[in-house]
Amino acid sequence: MAAARRLLLRPLAACLLAVGLAGGAFAQNAARQPATLSDSAPEAQLNRIFEEIEANRLGEALQLTEGLLRQHPNYRLAHLIKGDLLLARARPIQSFGAVNGAPADKIADLRAEAFVRLKGYREKPPTDYVPRYLLQMQPDQKHAIVVDTQRSRLYLYENDVANGGRPRFVADYYITQGKLGAEKLAEGDKKTPVGVYHVTANLPRQKLTDLYGNGAFPINYPNEWDRRQGRGGSGIWLHGTPSDTFARPPRASDGCVVLTNQDLDAVAKNLQVGLTPVIISNSVEWLSLDDWHKERDELNQTIEAWRSDWESLDTERYLKHYSRRFKTGNAGFEQFAAQKRQVNAGKEWVKVRVDNLSVFRNPGNEEVVVVTFEQDYRSNNLNNQMKKRQYWLREDGKWKIIYEGSA
Amino acid sequence: MSAPSLLRPRINQLRALAIGVVLGLSLPAYAADLPEVQRLVKQGKHQQALEAVDAYLSSRPKDAQGRFLKGLIYTEMNKPAEAIGVFTKLTQDYPELPEPYNNLAVLYAQQKQYDKARTALEMAIRTHPSYAIAYENLGDVYAKLASQAYDKALQLDNSNAATQNKLALIRDLITTGSTGSPAKPAGKAGGKQQASAAVVSATPGAAARNVESKPVATPPAAIAAPAAPAVAAAAVAAPASAAPAPAASAFSDPVADELSATVAAWADAWSRKDMAAYLGAYAPDFQTPKGISREEWQQEREQRIAGRAGAISVRIEAAQIAVNGDEATVRFRQHYKAPGLTNTASKTLVFARVGGKWLIREEISR
């Protein structure tokens, strides 16, 4: 009977783990990934615990779980696993979170956390692949953040300037997204926005209520593109976890991206206010370095063509870089074109420099890239320096500017 | 030399431990003192019992039996701190005895110190891997700890939940080879083993019933790992067919036997789909679940039992019986098996004696 009782837990573990391993887009590469998770992250320990359960070594699993709880006394998922392991000694249990009369939503939350944590641990992004969004960081951006809401993971990348600015994986972390998922559209929809953002401030713990934990980093939602799409809402932050809990469920915030306090502290060290990009995606796309180079080169050439065509004073050729749906401020394409023709008519020469260029692909179905740079415009009768942001959209296979404005 | 005894049934309420305690000590001389103390305890004369046991201990302060009894008396007197003191000291002086650990665990559990209770019970099982009551108690403590862990996991507020612990206090010190001659406490491993083996053979009635008549109890096979689930070797869960063996009669409680037989007959009627016998086991004032009418309930039972295709097997394990006059509570593990459905649950049947027959008044599943 002892054996039979113990066996009962196995399907549970198997079911948990099966989900963890299903759809392993890059699972086969996991072995090549160096261990970059911080030692204090619970994934490795959870993984071991479930391995012990799978191997029917429940005593070891319980010991590991108790060890995890000594490290994180407020870790609810670990308490749940401990409860199951203890209850399995008292009577056969049929399901993960076998407690009688438990609120089903809370059990589901913790189960979901176990799923995404194990999945995140077992399916590391392969080293020779990079997120498609990080096409080019500007040299002073030391790090970039990419969030995958479906996987509940935040990936921290370093701008490897010595290696031609290719993104280098640093670490990844479990995150919580909005209660109702991603693709925020409106105020109060409890969703996390999807798009290209950056950190705009650093709010220390002292200025915040306990809900935000060790600190908060607001991002610039809604950005120019969100506004153009009519998306509303505000106050989307990266922040920590209240003191009474180690982690929150995968879907629990009002739209913010929430990390455990220790993870927030680790990430915070790498954040530059006003600079660090935060790119949030439903499901991160990964490119091989070859493909990444190809996309990056193509866009660099496109931007260079726009710059040199502007200098050429061939206004029609310059305007070919702009979409018919282009808008800047209140002006549409025709107004913008008329104004450019008029200005260029008064120019004898124009010099345009583009510095500190960043190119980030916008997550989503539409092919949009966000281009930001310092523009140094000189001409015979006017000099102007500004930080400019453009949104480029691929229309009929060609990249066209659909929005342009100061950044 | 060894004290023939019977593992006492686990009893729901500590206060209800009124069933006679039989300590078949056969040593002459001072041994006679202890049955006297037992008698006083049984009569509820705790203060006198305490004085008697102190007098007994004054000349042999190390005596394990006497100290164990003193711990029990303190427990009965609702002096848990004193009782814990006595049992703790016993575990230090006689670490090989499982009973003081078990009772220490019961006391800790009453104070909701389940981690301490768990440690104590795991010690009891380490010294005596086949110790049934300790296993059952440990199962309950695990369940309690699980429940605490769940509360923390799910942020439930169960602080006021009225689930009193139901751990069984051990009444007899049965693993000692002697009645506590201080010169030779049962400290030697060999002697201890012998003593514990002697306990098993000294209860032929219970043992035979367990093994032969029906798989009432699982033999403690997985004893090597302290992590093994509760293995219940019930002493009292006698199926109906087993007539009490003569050898056991001295240790048996006739009322408990009646109740065991009643529960066994009920399970048997259920297994045979004998609806008349099954429904006949319930009292006229049986509290139907969810307050549905008796008729509705009977219909439902008919459907689920007589109306079910295939064989049904209902097996009872680890019954604990508590009697209070014409009322009794039997708690057990119920193994239910039918095509497509296998289920093990804890069940409590509340009985009332009606016209000389024990009938089910309440049926509680957990």
Residue-wise pLDDT for A222-262, tens only, equals 999 999 999 999 999 999 999 999 999 999 999 999 999 99
Half-sphere exposure of A232 (CA within 13 A, CB side): 4
Nearest to B146 among A5, A76, A87 (CB): A87
Element (H, E) at B103: helix B98-110
pLDDT over 90 (residue A334): yes
Q: What share of chain B is helix, strand, coil (3-state, %, to 5)?
A: 50, 15, 40
Question: How far off is chain B from A208, nearest CA to CA, in Å?
Answer: 24
d(CA B255, CA B322): 10
Axis-axis angle for helices B64-76, B33-42 (nearest 10): 10
Q: Could you tell me the CA-to-CA distances from B137 to A85, B11, B236 in Å, in that order?
A: 17, 11, 16
Q: Is A59 on the interface with B (CB under 8 A)?
A: yes
At residue B188, the pLDDT reads: 32
Contact B154 A107 (CB under 8 A): yes
Q: Is B145 on the interface with A (CB under 8 A)?
A: yes
Q: Is A9 on the interface with B (CB under 8 A)?
A: no
d(CA A166, CA A159): 6
d(CA A336, CA A400): 14
Query: Does B98 sit behind a cis peptide bond, omega within 30 degrees of 0 on the bond before it?
Result: no
Axis-axis angle for helices A76-90, A2-21 (nearest 10): 150
Q: Tokens standing for A156?
A: 């921290």
Q: Which residue from A266, A246, A197, A259 is spatially nearest to A75, judged by alpha carbons? A: A246
* Residue B171 backbone phi and psi in degrees, to 5: -95, -25
Interface confidence, given as ipTM, is 0.72
Q: Which residue from A174, A257, A169 is spatially nearest to A218, judged by alpha carbons? A: A257
With beta carbons under 8 A apart, name residues in chain B contacting A85: 146
Using only C-alpha atoms, chain A has a radius of gyration, in whole angstroms, of 25
Q: Residues near B201 by Cβ (< 8 Å), separated by ≥ 6?
A: B207
The answer to whether the CB of A252 falls within 8 A of the CB of A179 is yes
Three-state SS at B43: coil
Query: Considering only alpha carbons, which residue of chain B is nearest residue A60?
Result: B227
Half-sphere exposure of A203 (CA within 13 A, CB side): 18
Q: Is A52 on the interface with B (CB under 8 A)?
A: no
Strand ranges across the sheet with A166-174: A166-174, A153-160, A143-148, A277-281, A195-198
Contact A90 B230 (CB under 8 A): yes
d(CA A340, CA A353): 18
**Residue B272 banded pLDDT, cuts 50, 70, 90:** confident
Considering only residues 70 to 109 of chain A, which have any Cβ-Cβ distance to chain B shorter than 8 Å? 76-80, 82-92, 97, 99-100, 102-103, 106-107
Select the residue from B151, B154, B332, B343 to test the A interface by mutation, using most A Cβ atoms within 10 A: B154
Q: Could you tell me the CA-to-CA distances from A75 to A114, A123, A242, A260, B290 in Å, in that order?
A: 12, 23, 12, 10, 37
At residue A36, the pLDDT reads: 43
Alpha helices in A156-288 (DSSP H): 224-228, 261-268
Angle at A145 between CA A225 and CA A147, to 5 degrees: 75
Contact B139 A100 (CB under 8 A): no
Q: Tokens standing for B130?
A: 């086949």
The 10s digit of each residue's pLDDT in B278-300 is 999 998 888 887 777 888 888 88
For tokens 């990934």, name the residue: A33
Q: How crowded is residue A142: how many other Cβ atoms within 10 Å of its Cβ?
A: 15
- The pTM of this model reads 0.65
Q: How many beta-carbon pairs below 8 A join chains A and B?
A: 95
At residue B295, the pLDDT reads: 84
**Residue A27 banded pLDDT, cuts 50, 70, 90:** very low
Using only C-alpha atoms, chain B has a radius of gyration, in whole angstroms, of 21
**Residue A20 banded pLDDT, cuts 50, 70, 90:** very low
> What is the bridge-based pairing of β-strands A237-239 and A257-258?
parallel
At residue B223, the pLDDT reads: 30
Q: Which residue from B215, B176, B170, B216 is spatially nearest to B318, judged by alpha carbons? A: B216
Q: Residues near B110 by Cβ (< 8 Å), separated by ≥ 6?
A: B14, B80, B165, B167
For tokens 């804890």, name the residue: B346
pLDDT over 90 (residue B148): no
**Residue A10 banded pLDDT, cuts 50, 70, 90:** very low
The answer to whether the CB of A159 falls within 8 A of the CB of A167 is yes
d(CA A150, CA A131): 15
Question: Of all residues in chain B, what percent carry a pLDDT higher than 90?
Answer: 21
Q: Residues near A57 by Cβ (< 8 Å), separated by ≥ 6?
A: none
For tokens 């109306």, name the residue: B307
